[in-house]
Amino acid sequence: MSVLSCNKLRRTFYVGKGLLKRKLPLHAVNGVTLTIERGETLAVVGESGCGKTTLARMLLGMLPPSTGDISFGSLAIGAISRRQLARRIQPVFQDPYSSLNPRKTVFQIIALPLVVHGECNASERRQRVEMYMDLVGLSRRLLHSYPVQLSGGQRQRVAIARALVIRPDIVVCDEPTSALDVSVQAQILNLLLDLRRELGLTLVLISHDLAVVEHMANRIAVMYLGRVVEEGTAEQVFDRPRHPYTKALLGSVLTPEPELGLPEVVLGATFPNPVEPPAGCVFHPRCPEFIEGTCDAAEPALLPVDDNVHVRCFRTESGPSS
């Protein structure tokens, strides 16, 4: 059952190139259509600057879309108050060092959503906070500690408990482990998986780390320059990538076998200017499967090519991609 969907979602910023020059549009998210099913983990992946964090901020209600619609079930996001929206969807931000108020204790941070929404009396609030501290693996002796007294992993556990204490339907995790030590990352990822199973959570995972995505996701949407270029189940995307960009991303992952050496990345060093994107398919200047006269002449549509797989590529429209 669909819990959240967005249709032809766009977010445009205007960027100035000089004091007297006209501002140019930058389409950070350009026509994204996605459906998120209850209980699944949808991963949105891509290089830095592809629009995945802007998309997450729109889903959270932190940025209004320029055009397009976001819906919770049959209810449009515009018909939901900010307070109601916060009850249904909560964030876990990238950096636990800056996402927690340094002047508040762990108890005050986790309890804040309950205070804002007027839930529970003082004793019930304490019980709820302690319950979610237990759930995320935080010792109760840290209840009156400040963020500066905690490790990075403990701070991210506080952020997760704060997101869950109001019992939302969806949690949006924006690079939830990228600011943590490698030794702590697996603990946080396994915690999120356990919480999804125990609480029936729906997760939206924003990441550029494909190892994290493979470990966490049921379904993957690959973004490039504001567009979704491939969408499918995690197994389909990892086992048989269809879009040349997805193939290049998967081919760039380091392996633990030293005899394999460094992966050969065929994308080139230059990322297109998002203010002045190339004509036709925006990926064609970097594409090893470029078709002259086709890819540079028109933009391909995101079309179904198999069960639950959608790809934005002329190669998949004309025939199977190797």
How many structural domains does the chain have?
Answer: 1
Each residue's pLDDT tens digit, 191-208: 999 999 999 999 999 998
The secondary element (H helix, E strand) that includes residue 245 is: helix 244-251
Bridge partners (DSSP) of residue 227 are: 224
The mean pLDDT value of the chain amounts to 89
pLDDT digits (tens, 9 = 90+) for 28-70: 999 999 999 999 999 999 988 899 999 999 999 999 999 999 9
pLDDT(100) > 60: yes
pLDDT digits (tens, 9 = 90+) for 255-283: 555 554 545 556 665 677 888 899 999 99
Is pLDDT above 60 for 297?
yes
Are 221 and 73 spatial neighbours (Cβ–Cβ below 8 Å)? no
- Asked whether the beta carbons of 43 and 232 are under 8 A apart, the reply is no
Calpha distance 39→23 (Å, rounded) = 42
Structural domain including 270 reads 2-318
Residue 43 corresponds to which amino acid? Answer: A
Residue with tokens 């800056």: 98
Taking Cα atoms as reference points, which of 32, 44, 149, 37 lies closest to residue 102?
Answer: 149
Q: How big is the chain by its Cα radius of gyration, in Å?
A: 21
* 141-151 pLDDT per residue, tens: 999 999 999 99
Largest distance between two CA atoms of the chain: 69
CATH number at residue 90: 3.40.50.300
pLDDT at 230 over 90: yes
- Residue 41: helix, strand or coil by DSSP? strand
DSSP string, 59-115: HTTSS--SEEEEEETTEEGGGS-HHHHHHHEEEE-S-TTTSS-TTS-HHHHHHHHHH
pLDDT score, position 32: 96
Per-residue model confidence (pLDDT) at position 322: 39
pLDDT tens figures, 102-114: 999 999 999 999 9
95 band by pLDDT with thresholds 50, 70 and 90: confident
pLDDT for the residue numbered 127: 95
Buried b / exposed e along 160-180 (16+ C-beta atoms within 10 A) = bbbbbbbebbbbbbbbbbebb
| pLDDT of the residue at 180 | 84
Confidence of residue 92 (pLDDT cuts 50, 70, 90): very high
* C-alpha 232: how far from chain center: 15
Contact 312, 228 (CB under 8 A): yes
**Cβ–Cβ under 8 Å, residues 58 and 70:** yes
Cα–Cα distance, 292 to 311 (Å, whole number): 19
Quick: pLDDT tens for 66-81.
Answer: 999 999 888 888 888 8
pLDDT value at residue 48: 86
Summarize the confidence of residues 152-174 as an average pLDDT: 94
Contact between 294 and 284 (Cβ < 8 Å): no
Greater model confidence, 241 or 270: 241
For 242, what's the count of Cα atoms within 13 Å in the CB-facing half-sphere? Answer: 32
Tell me: pLDDT of 22 over 50: yes
What percent of the chain clears pLDDT 90, i.e. is strictly above it?
65
**According to the model, what pLDDT value does residue 251 have?**
82
The encoded tokens of residue 179 equal 């600011």
Q: What is the pTM of this model?
A: 0.90
